[in-house]
Amino acid sequence: MNRRTLFLAPLAIPVALLAMSAPVQAEKLSLGTLSKYLNGLTTVEADFTQVNSDGTVSTGRIFIKRPGRVRFEYNPPDKALVLAGGQQVAIFDGKSNVPPEQYPLKRTPLNLILAANVNLGKAKMVVGHTADATTTRVKAQDPENPEYGTIELVFSADPVELRQWVITDDLGSQTTVILGEMKKGGSMGEAMFSITREKEKRGL
């Protein structure tokens, strides 16, 4: 699996199959409401399921500490690790003892929700904003660097909750991450997101 696509890019998964009759349109959550929700997230821990561009599926545990930090721990047989911290992303291969692939966090669409101040109302950031019977979907890009790709965020309402995201890279490859029940507001040490510490731990 190409872990780089996870950040640089989704195979969109239907949130619900609608009945044959005309769907009931839910009220679309505003960009202001969604920005406020994202800015209110400090730490998040959850199980996740990832659907890759080639159709394969991976699972694991995700840890988010805003701003700018995320840790994806993949379950066996993958055993891979993806870290974002210090404005860098590092992809550690769990099956070999080689240095991680690294690149700037700012080059990834996921950076948009890890920013210190999320403002989905910023000009040219949101390129799609729709709602169906159960969810609101927002597709966003870096307005200064649209070539980096897009991230489509899927939110449920009442209460507002981020349920999944779909990343599309500059080549059209797609990766979907579906979140399980989220644990919010817990304590997470900086070492969890330290690429340097992880390299030292692995002797790289």
Residues whose CB falls within 8 Å of the CB of residue 60, separated by 6 or more in sequence, listed in order: 47, 48, 50, 72, 73, 74, 75, 78
pLDDT at 3 over 80: no
Over residues 137-153, mean pLDDT: 94
Which three-class secondary structure state does DSSP give residue 15? coil
Structure tokens at 107: 């080059």
| pLDDT reported for residue 11 | 33
**DSSP assignments along 53-87, one per residue:** TTS-EEEEEEEEETTTEEEEEEPTTT--EEEEETT
Comparison of pLDDT for 95 and 107, the residue scoring more: 107
Comparison of pLDDT for 59 and 95, the residue scoring more: 59
DSSP 181: S
pLDDT digit string (tens) for 87-101?
999 999 988 888 999
Poorest-pLDDT segment among 18-22, 69-73, 116-120, 188-192: 18-22
What is the pLDDT of the chain when averaged over all its residues?
87
| pLDDT reported for residue 25 | 56
| pLDDT reported for residue 6 | 57
Which three-class secondary structure state does DSSP give residue 194? coil
Q: If 0-12 CB within 10 Å is exposed, 13-18 middle and 19+ buried, where does residue 169 land? A: buried
State percent of the chain over pLDDT 70. Answer: 87
| pLDDT reported for residue 7 | 52
The candidate with the shortest Cα–Cα distance to 166, out of 155, 153, 179, is 153
Query: Tell me: domain 3-7+25-202, CATH 3.10.560.10, correct?
Result: no
